[in-house]
Structure 1
């Protein structure tokens, strides 16, 4: 059993966490033996998992830089995970020191470590928040104190919606955040998919899903068409909802097992 000063007492060290597994894939240090065991089991089935995590991180960077170029200086990162190198506030504030960032996540370790990391940053905070309950995030005094919803905001949902089952109504949650945005606001999404997986690879996909069912965040892989529907009510910017590696690429990253897009509220 591992203990550290940054581990909240509410954390179950006997159960893996999807957020802490993601931290492991990215080379972070805020994960436990149970997370590493589960993540390594996934990597045995799918050796490209660390690359997938890095590819999603690369999309996050590209999306934030795109939004900055459109004049966005406020960001709400939902399901933000455990802070690692290349956080939204680092990217945004390097370009615009006045940029404001709210990280929201359910994972206690993510929130605790984020709060410690941002203690001396008056323009960035980490809060406990569930994207499946938009009103709890949108009505938060902390969120409202930092973000001005009368001005455009960039909402980021990167590598998180594939942990939201249909029973939790992801379309309705996204619509609520969309409706809260001022015109000119954006929503950026990346989402895992099994599109293109050959028939003989579907068994491996099911084995990966079984591992994630041990966490509080079972994996839901949707089709490209289903993922495109998450942008309903938004004007999707070029190049559209495409494979991750095809969205304004700035490297040779060839990862394709996810779809991504950025939509603008008119």
Structure 2
């Protein structure tokens, strides 16, 4: 099921969009020249954006497997982005085909790909919505058809909260979603940080690209101490809120120090009390 919310003809190709830039960082082709120009400028000043983005995708894969393996059978994925296989439902269905996934994004171009990439396996739905409007998201008919709030839910906020400014109060937004979830639900969250990069690494210049190119969202990096409160009301799954390659690394092998040096993102999973 899909609900685009407004005409796909309203896709704004005059300004770079973070979802399409993210697709470019992943090596995808579902982007426009304006996105490629902005993304390449980010890469030029902050090359670590590519390994960071790809590490984030791998973190998402591991976290979804964790959700499904721990018994979660319904997932709300907010800030889905351009579909890049394997997607959330494909990973979850490797564990159980009973998992239902509601995808939400605010970019109409994501809707143009939803039918082919997100909705073909059943138990999935997509609609256009905005993280900053929790009541609208949670009351959407697609959520009503797929998600039973009497049972634990996996809420995914992967690489999306750093596009929410302090003025928009990301902690309050997370709390609004948290309060709608029953005990035993799980939050999967990752967030960009400057904790691992010195000033000369180019991260400040990369943030400026989003501003200078009039991107539809700016980037606010946050420290570990600033990200941790987003898990208020949740018990963190070991090893807690960590640099994403350190969260349940594939095969249990510790990541190489060289990999960690290039990844500027925290990630974690929490279980609602």
- TM-score when normalising by structure 1: 0.93
- Residues 23 and 29 of structure 1 are in contact (CA less than 8 Å); yes or no, is this contact kept in structure 2? yes
Q: How does 1:85-96 map to 2 (within 5 A)?
A: 85-96=85-96
> Quick check: 1:261 aligned with 2:258?
no
Distance across 2 between alignment mates of 1:12 and 1:118? 22
- Residues 190 and 258 of structure 1 are in contact (CA less than 8 Å); yes or no, is this contact kept in structure 2? yes
SS at match of 2:102: strand
Other-structure match for 1:212: 210
SS at match of 1:189: strand
SS at match of 1:144: helix
- Residues 26 and 54 of structure 1 are in contact (CA less than 8 Å); yes or no, is this contact kept in structure 2? yes
CA apart distance, 1:221: 0.3
Other-structure match for 1:147: 147
- Residues 118 and 124 of structure 2 are in contact (CA less than 8 Å); yes or no, is this contact kept in structure 1? yes
Q: Which runs of 5+ in 2 are unaligned?
A: 1-6
Other-structure match for 1:68: 68
SS at match of 2:126: strand
Q: How does 1:241-260 map to 2 (within 5 A)?
A: 241-250=241-250, 252=255, 253-254=259-260, 255-260=262-267
Residues 60-101 of structure 1 show CA distances to partners (whole Å, capped at 9, x for unaligned) of 011011111210011111111111112001101122111100
CA apart distance, 1:132: 1.1
Distance across 1 between alignment mates of 2:100 and 2:224? 32
Other-structure match for 2:4: none
SS at match of 1:60: helix
Residues 194-214 of structure 1 show CA distances to partners (whole Å, capped at 9, x for unaligned) of 01322433xx22211111122
Q: Which has the higher contact order (CA 8 A, sep 6+)?
A: 2
Distance across 1 between alignment mates of 2:72 and 2:198? 40
- Residues 104 and 111 of structure 1 are in contact (CA less than 8 Å); yes or no, is this contact kept in structure 2? no
Distance across 2 between alignment mates of 1:30 and 1:165? 26
Distance across 2 between alignment mates of 1:225 and 1:41? 29
- TM-score when normalising by structure 2: 0.90
Q: How does 1:69-148 map to 2 (within 5 A)?
A: 69-148=69-148
CA apart distance, 1:120: 3.5
Q: Which moved more, 1:169-178 or 1:204-213?
A: 204-213
Distance across 1 between alignment mates of 2:177 and 2:86? 24
Distance across 1 between alignment mates of 2:248 and 2:121? 30
Other-structure match for 2:23: 23
Q: Which runs of 5+ in 1 are unaligned?
A: 1-6
CA apart distance, 1:119: 4.4
- Residues 192 and 259 of structure 1 are in contact (CA less than 8 Å); yes or no, is this contact kept in structure 2? yes
Structure 1 residues 199 and 84 mapped into 2: Cα distance closer, same or farther (>3 Å)? Answer: closer
- Residues 115 and 125 of structure 1 are in contact (CA less than 8 Å); yes or no, is this contact kept in structure 2? no
RMSD: 1.5
SS at match of 2:182: coil
